[in-house]
Chains A and B, each alone.
Chain A
Amino acid sequence: MHDFKIPIGPQHPATDESACLRVSLDGNTIIDSDLRFGYAHKGIEKLLEGKRIEQGLHIVDHICGICSVAHPSCYVKTIEKMLNYKPPERVKYLRTLASELGRIQSHLFWTGFMLHEIGFETMLAYFLRDREHILEVLERLTGSRSHFAYHKIRTVRNDISENDVNFTLKKIKEVKKQIPTYMKTIKKDTVIKARMKDVGIITRMDAERYSLVGPIARASGISTDIRKDDPYEAYDQVDFEVITEWDGDAYARMLVRIREIIESIKIVKQVLKNLPKGKIPPSTPLILEEGLELGRVEAPRGENFHLIKIKNKKIDRARIRPPTFNFMSIFTKLLEGRKIGDIPVILASLDPCYACMERVVVIKDGKKEVLTEHDFRRKYA
């Protein structure tokens, strides 16, 4: 058998977004891999510079289609920290509702997609059917199915009516009804176990060393969750559990995400039950001369971090670090010594979201290279 070098991506069924993974093979085993980005670069941080704060919100909303609750939430949290503003309780609860619904739809989509990677098309269809319920709720709540734009500075876009509360409860119930069936399938199916157990193991030490966040760290036994560690919105007033598993493999990551769906449903129910009476404040123009603040929220994929600097009422510099940024550093390490068949499983189990992540691309003399901050400074600054 001779050596191959095959490209996985930028167009490949295993990657839902475009990134290029070059894999060197010795027969059927991976000996080396190299990850290249730059296909989904939008220049979000540069776009944000020089914009007004309200304009910035719209740009942040369009970073990613799946995490489009998490990014505005983080941005709004950062700006409100600068303003020293505490929103009314009802607004806090409504924001929590949107965040959790966003998490449920992301996790449902991910689980279906993960099973599709190992050839279980039926599960993908079932999970998409269930995600549709959540999207319907989000459409009623925010008026949109993808880029929700629900969070606004000091307030939210729409209030929720009594009808919508009932509608949400009904739809949530339908989703919850299906979860035990899926859990049973995943726990009993031998083929799923054969494909996912002991694949892409991240030890607790590695998870700490690579500073992993979100469900992936939780699957390795680290109990980290911004909702508990640094509560925002109404997370300090609802009761939920931080899910952890100890195996650190693809199967544990799957279990963590499915169990998180159940926790999120619990939060949604509590929020709807305890929703404070009152009106949401109108959106008013804001005056903010200068400021520098950072904020972090728990996106579906993990910690989402925004650093925003305001100068002369305009955004001077914004730095956005989505959770995928942390995962991709460990990805190539996980692939070493595995078989070709494991690539989609490991890649999907990390749940990468390149659209969130793409930052610096240098195009010079027709050559394109993607750089880390350190390399960029050394070469071009």
Chain B
Amino acid sequence: MILDVNMLNIMLLIFVIPISLLFEGLRRKLMARMQNRIGPPVWQPVYDVMKLLQKEESDSKASENIFFKITPFLYLITTFALFLFVPFPIISFPFDFILFVYILILGGALYILSGFASNSPYGSIGSMRETTLMVCYEIIFAIVIITFALYTNIESLMSFNQNFLFLKLPLASLCLFIVGLVEMRITPFDTVEAPTEIIGSVETEYSGRGLALLEISKALKFTFFIFLITMLFFGFKGVLMFSIVSLIMLFIFTFLQATTCRYRLDQTFNLLIFVLLLAVIELIRINYLVW
């Protein structure tokens, strides 16, 4: 196992929560500008989280459930742990990307658990939707990561050093992009958290600190996927180029959210099955067919 501790890594780990909240604020601001609105200040998510952390939690039947209480913490920890590997890996050992995929799935499982533990019909439906979709998109994610690893012939994410891979692996990149949309809850694939259909899904029963932790985790996951896509697609190691490309990706995602509407659950599922097929084709292609 190699520990690569330098200034950049540590700074990123310390400031990753403010950075993700800033990204969330930027997303809101950009969204508002695209919709002809002024929008909230860029630091609004920070104020929201600070306020929520100070508030007491509402007393509901669900709060007796131990899983309901601890899952937001665990969810935050698992999401935070993803930043150990992406974009500037700190820990490295052979085949660490398998652990990395596992951590992502663990986060999804905790999200589902908190929904079922919240004792609310909307939470249960949200968890049900997430379960249905997870069957599909986590497999795609795993296949895509393995495809990237096989193609670049790396043992761990630290030795990843190829630029502009999205031109060489177009199908796998497309699949990763779509999985990103599902995980980041961006239209047309934000079926899990459709507010006009099932209110807040898993977040419905949460309040105060629990809700704040969920909000932070959501922002972290959003930032994580932007970093991951920037890292795997473009592979820039310099901080400046990396930040610029990340902001461009943020703009693209916001633009997508502003200009599309949401698919229904069964439509999303059918589409994901098709995406799974694409991912498998790409995996076969890089192994047996010469480009």
A-side residues, CB < 8 A to B, are 1, 4-7, 12-14, 27-28, 115-122, 125-126, 129, 189, 191-192, 194-195, 339-344
Contacts and interface: CB of A to CB of B under 8 A. Distances in A.
B261 A118 contact: yes
B124 interface: yes
Contacts, number: 80
B264 A341 contact: yes
Interface stretch (B3-11, B30-38, B71-79, B168-176): B30-38
A195 B264 contact: yes
A339 B121 CA distance: 15
Given A122-B259, A191-B262, A116 B196 contact: yes
Contact of B261 (A28, A126, A191, A343): A191
Interface in B82-140: 121-122, 124-125, 128
B274 to A, nearest CB: 14
B196 A14 contact: yes
Interface string B215-232: 000000000000000000
Interface residues of B, number: 30
28 contacts: A1-B128, A6-B122, A6-B125, A14-B196, A14-B197, A116-B196, A119-B262, A120-B261, A121-B31, A121-B258, A122-B258, A126-B35, A126-B36, A129-B36, A189-B261, A191-B262, A191-B263, A195-B262, A195-B263, A195-B264, A340-B125, A340-B197, A340-B265, A341-B191, A341-B264, A342-B264, A344-B196, A344-B197
A125 B194 CA distance: 18
A13 to B, nearest CB: 5
Contacts of B195: 13
A282 to B, nearest CB: 43
B190 to A, nearest CB: 7
> Which of A7, A339, A342 has the largest number of chain B CB atoms within 10 A?
A339
B36 A119 contact: no
B261 A119 contact: yes
Given A13-B195, A125-B36, A120 B125 contact: no
Contacts of B243: none
Interface string B12-42: 0000000000000000000100111100000
Contacts of B190: 119
Contacts of B191: 341
Contacts of B264: 194-195, 339, 341-342
B196 A119 contact: yes
Contacts of B196: 13-14, 116-119, 344
In order of increasing CB-CB distance, the 8 nearest A-B pairs are: A119-B262, A125-B35, A120-B261, A341-B264, A6-B121, A119-B261, A118-B261, A122-B258
B261 A115 contact: yes
B259 A118 contact: no
Contacts of A119: 187-188, 190, 194, 196, 260-262
B267 interface: yes
Given A28-B266, A119-B188, A341-B264, 7 more contacts: A4-B121, A14-B197, A119-B261, A121-B31, A122-B34, A191-B260, A341-B265
Interface in B163-205: 187-188, 190-191, 194-199
A116 B187 CA distance: 12
A264 to B, nearest CB: 23
B36 A13 contact: no
Contact of A194 (B122, B125, B263, B265): B263
B185 to A, nearest CB: 11
A181 to B, nearest CB: 13
B262 A118 contact: yes
Nearest to B188: A191
B34 to A, nearest CB: 6
B198 A340 contact: yes
Nearest to B266: A339
> Which of A4, A13, A119, A344 has the largest number of chain B CB atoms within 10 A?
A119
Contacts of B188: 119, 191
Nearest to A338: B264
Nearest to A25: B125
A121 B260 contact: no
A340 B197 CA distance: 7
